[in-house]
């Protein structure tokens, strides 16, 4: 009997290839929500990951050498890495274009930011077909193919088009928009039809699933919806599709354990020793207009303005992780953030107190966890977010149960954390400012009971719970029923000329 193996497919592989000044190639674990979530899952179980290698095409690299590099990466990460190569035009029109100039803003309820360039669509289709070919070439009929996110909605459609039968699941990491937003998409029928070619489609929240079902009911009249509750069945003229909500999570235990380590504790102590006698408020985001950073800075200024007792008593540490910097819109956002930070610091700073510490770079894992552990308040105010793992990571690292989470009601995480977090409307500057004041003066008992509730919930619904819920729905089996890593991993010795850099989240 053929063994069913697990193949994860995402736009990017779980590693980033780069070249140091010395000319040596390095591979680092990738960053971002998807890698943080799936890394521990595959590491625990093994499997293979198919994805784009990143902008490697611009550098001259021998194909054999790349294979060596990936073999090395496979042994370090614990799962096999299978690259998909993209041309410059494909990167431009499929990735920057259709994915990030159309689907990303539209699905985050920001249609005015969309660039509906018709030339993007064909390239999006072509690249999805390319991914489907790589999947077909690297899997067998018994394997489970798990496709991730908005870049790759058409993969199951193209597998079916060329007659390749695989069991497929799809998980959307970003929100699914309401009908009146989705309906603006010129390719709305093709996208809905393609989603209904998977065997199982998963969303982050019930709200996303409801939005999707509204679109199916309105735009696909031949599809019948059967059932209620956690998972429903869609009967299309071609097949049956299961549709469910599976809120993604984190490896809670690992975050909590590392947060308790001596290394993190030492670093946390240094942070607080340098910013004494005040409460630290933490904001951590990728550079992106959906994360609501400028409005958050304005809310912080509003709090300092209206509540003078906060001056000198709170410091906002705003960490921004560089992302999509080559896109003018993101460059403009960076400049706006820097202008606001300068303006607020210029206005409120005193000799021994600077209101905002601004950090624009990725953090090492130890640094990141030290900030989570030491900051008393997390201020997480995306305008819209699929889930937001930072909110969950902050809670997992708040091992003394004394952190306060201020969270946007438009983050997917709000559904799960509403019993402990202070929920805010990120567009309401005065409301967010009031929440900052409330968090600052919250008594110890309330802090502890709220944080304990959130930590319990995240611990119970951790990343392994998420992956098992998905597999049970799609396959009636658990992650540990997949075979171990040996089935996929190469056996060659690591090449001497490449190295794995220190792990970053
Ligand atoms: P992202 O938009 O990347 O993910 P998020 O869920 O917040 O957003 O994940 C960010 C990840 O980056 C976190 O795991 C965090 O640890 C890491 N990170 C943050 N700051 C960092 C720093 N300074 N240095 C290094 N690493 C840092 C997408 C969707 C989300 C969804 C996830 C998972 O947009 O809504 O929650 O996928 O499904």
Percentage of residues of the chain with pLDDT beyond 70: 90
Whether residue 83 contacts residue 65, with contact meaning beta carbons closer than 8 Å, is answered with no
Q: Residue 23: which region, alpha, beta or left (left: phi > 0; alpha: psi -120 to 50)?
A: left
pLDDT-based confidence at residue 3 (cuts at 50, 70, 90): low
Tell me, what DSSP letter sits at residue 488? Answer: T
Q: Indicate whether residue 368 lines ligand 1 (CB < 6 A).
A: yes
Average pLDDT of the segment spanning 152-171: 96
Mean pLDDT of the chain: 90
pLDDT at 491: 42
Q: Could you tell me what percentage of the chain is helix, strand and coil, using 3-state DSSP and rounding each to the nearest 5?
A: 50, 20, 35
pLDDT at 2: 47
Residue 34 CA to ligand 1 centre (angstroms): 7
**Residue-wise DSSP of 325-337:** TTSHHHHHHHHHH
pLDDT at 147: 98
What are the backbone angles phi and psi of residue 380, rounded to the nearest 5°? Answer: -120, 105
**Lowest-confidence pick of 40-44, 140-144, 472-476:** 40-44
Rounded Cα distance between 88 and 94, Å, is 10
Alpha-carbon 169 to chain mean position: 18
- Evaluate if residue 20 carries a pLDDT over 80: no
pLDDT-based confidence at residue 503 (cuts at 50, 70, 90): very low
Percentage of residues of the chain with pLDDT beyond 90: 74
Residue 43 CA to ligand 1 centre (angstroms): 19
Residue 284 CA to ligand 1 centre (angstroms): 9
pLDDT at 32: 64
> Which of 104, 388, 416, 462 has most ligand 1 atoms within 8 Å of CB, for mutation?
388
pLDDT at 38: 78
Whether residue 444 contacts residue 400, with contact meaning beta carbons closer than 8 Å, is answered with no
Average pLDDT of the segment spanning 63-78: 78
Beta bridge partners of 233: 226, 242
Rounded Cα distance between 34 and 300, Å, is 30
**Token duo for residue 105:** 């803003």
Average pLDDT of the segment spanning 269-294: 95
**Residue-wise DSSP of 209-271:** HHHHHHHHHHH-TT-EEE--SSEEEEE-SS-EEEEEE------HHHHHHHHTSHHHHHHHHHH
Q: Indicate whether residue 33 lines ligand 1 (CB < 6 A).
A: yes
Average pLDDT of the segment spanning 119-141: 97
Give residue-wise pLDDT tens across range 386-405.
999 999 999 999 999 999 99
Q: Which helix (H) or strand (E) holds 359?
A: strand 356-360
Active-site option among 173, 199, 288, 434:
173
Whether residue 252 contacts residue 362, with contact meaning beta carbons closer than 8 Å, is answered with no
What Rg value do the Cα atoms of the chain yield, rounded? 23
- Assess whether 193 carries a catalytic annotation: no
Whether residue 376 contacts residue 402, with contact meaning beta carbons closer than 8 Å, is answered with yes
Report the CATH superfamily, name and number, of domain 252-460: Glycogen Phosphorylase B; (3.40.50.2000)
Average pLDDT of the segment spanning 470-474: 91
Q: Indicate whether residue 505 lines ligand 1 (CB < 6 A).
A: yes
- Evaluate if residue 495 carries a pLDDT over 80: no
Q: Domain 6-248+462-500, what architecture?
A: 3-Layer(aba) Sandwich (3.40)
Average pLDDT of the segment spanning 281-300: 97
- Could you give the residue range(s) of every CATH 3.40.50.2000 domain in the chain? 6-248+462-500, 252-460
pLDDT at 349: 97
504: helix, strand or coil: coil
Pick 287 or 493 by higher pLDDT. 287
Average pLDDT of the segment spanning 47-51: 89
Please state whether beta strands 314-321 and 279-286 pair in parallel, antiparallel, or not at all (unpaired).
Answer: parallel
- Assess whether 385 carries a catalytic annotation: yes
User: Which residues 6+ apart lie within 8 Å of 392 measured at CB?
Assistant: 249, 250, 252, 413, 417, 458
For residue 365, the ligand 1 atom closest to its alpha carbon is 25
pLDDT at 497: 35
- Evaluate if residue 44 carries a pLDDT over 70: no
286: helix, strand or coil: strand
pLDDT at 16: 77
> Which of 387, 407, 467, 504 has most ligand 1 atoms within 8 Å of CB, for mutation?
387
pLDDT at 496: 32
The b-or-e profile of 310-330 (16+ CB within 10 A means b, else e) is bbbebbbbbbbbebbeeeeeb
pLDDT at 505: 25
Whether residue 310 contacts residue 436, with contact meaning beta carbons closer than 8 Å, is answered with yes
pLDDT at 499: 31
- Evaluate if residue 58 carries a pLDDT over 80: no
- Evaluate if residue 500 carries a pLDDT over 50: no
User: How far are the Cα atoms of 57, 144, 265, 456 from residue 399, in angstroms, in the given order?
Assistant: 44, 37, 11, 12
Predicted model pTM: 0.92
- Evaluate if residue 23 carries a pLDDT over 90: no
Residue 121's nearest CA partner among 83, 140, 93 is 93
pLDDT-based confidence at residue 494 (cuts at 50, 70, 90): very low
């Amino acid at each position: 009997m053929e063994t069913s193996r697990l193949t994860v497919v995402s736009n990017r592989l779980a590693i980033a290839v780069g070249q140091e000044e010395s000319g040596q190639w390095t591979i680092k674990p990738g960053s971002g929500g998807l890698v943080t979530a799936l890394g521990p899952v595959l590491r625990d179980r093994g499997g293979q990951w198919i994805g784009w290698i990143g902008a490697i095409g611009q550098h001259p690299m021998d194909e054999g050498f790349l294979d060596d590099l990936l073999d090395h990466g496979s042994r370090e990460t614990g799962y096999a890495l299978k690259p998909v190569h993209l041309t410059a035009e494909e990167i431009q029109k499929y990735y920057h274009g259709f994915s990030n100039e159309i689907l990303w803003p539209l699905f985050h309820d920001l249609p005015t930011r969309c660039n509906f360039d018709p030339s993007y669509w064909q390239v999006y289709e072509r690249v999805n077909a390319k991914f489907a070919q790589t999947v077909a070439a690297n899997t067998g009929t018994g394997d489970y193919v798990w496709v991730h996110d908005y870049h790759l909605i058409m993969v199951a459609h193209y597998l079916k088009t060329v007659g390749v039968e695989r069991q497929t699941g799809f998980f959307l990491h970003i929100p699914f928009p309401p009908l009146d937003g989705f309906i603006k998409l010129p390719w709305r029928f093709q996208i809905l039809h393609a989603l209904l070619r998977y065997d199982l489609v998963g969303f982050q929240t019930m709200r996303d699933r409801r939005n999707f079902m509204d679109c199916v009911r309105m735009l696909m009249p031949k599809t019948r919806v059967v059932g209620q509750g956690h998972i429903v069945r869609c009967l299309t003229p071609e097949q049956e599709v299961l549709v469910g909500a599976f809120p993604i999570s984190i490896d809670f235990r690992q975050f909590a354990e590392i947060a308790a380590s001596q290394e993190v504790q030492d670093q946390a102590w240094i942070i607080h020793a340098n910013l004494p006698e005040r409460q630290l408020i933490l904001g951590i985001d990728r550079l992106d207009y959906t994360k609501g950073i400028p409005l958050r800075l304005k809310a912080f200024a509003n709090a300092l303005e209206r509540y003078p007792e906060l001056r000198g008593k709170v410091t906002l540490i705003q960490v921004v992780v560089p992302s999509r910097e080559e896109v003018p819109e993101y460059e403009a956002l960076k400049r706006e953030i820097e202008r606001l930070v300068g303006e607020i610091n210029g206005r409120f700073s005193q000799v021994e107190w600077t209101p905002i510490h601004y950090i624009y770079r990725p953090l090492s894992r130890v640094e990141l966890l030290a900030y989570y552990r030491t900051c008393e308040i997390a201020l997480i105010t995306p305008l819209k977010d699929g889930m937001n793992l930072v909110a969950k990571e902050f809670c997992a690292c708040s091992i003394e149960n004394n952190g306060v989470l201020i969270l946007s009601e438009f983050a997917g995480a709000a559904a799960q954390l509403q019993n402990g977090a202070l929920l805010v409307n990120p567009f309401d500057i005065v409301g967010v400012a009031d929440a900052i004041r409330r968090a600052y003066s919250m008594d110890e008992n309330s802090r502890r009971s709220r944080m304990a509730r959130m930590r319990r919930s995240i611990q119970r619904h951790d990343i392994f719970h998420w992956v098992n819920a998905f597999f049970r729905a799609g396959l009636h089996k658990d992650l540990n029923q997949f075979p171990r890593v040996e089935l996929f991993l190469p056996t060659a010795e690591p090449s001497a000329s490449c190295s794995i850099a220190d792990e970053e989240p």
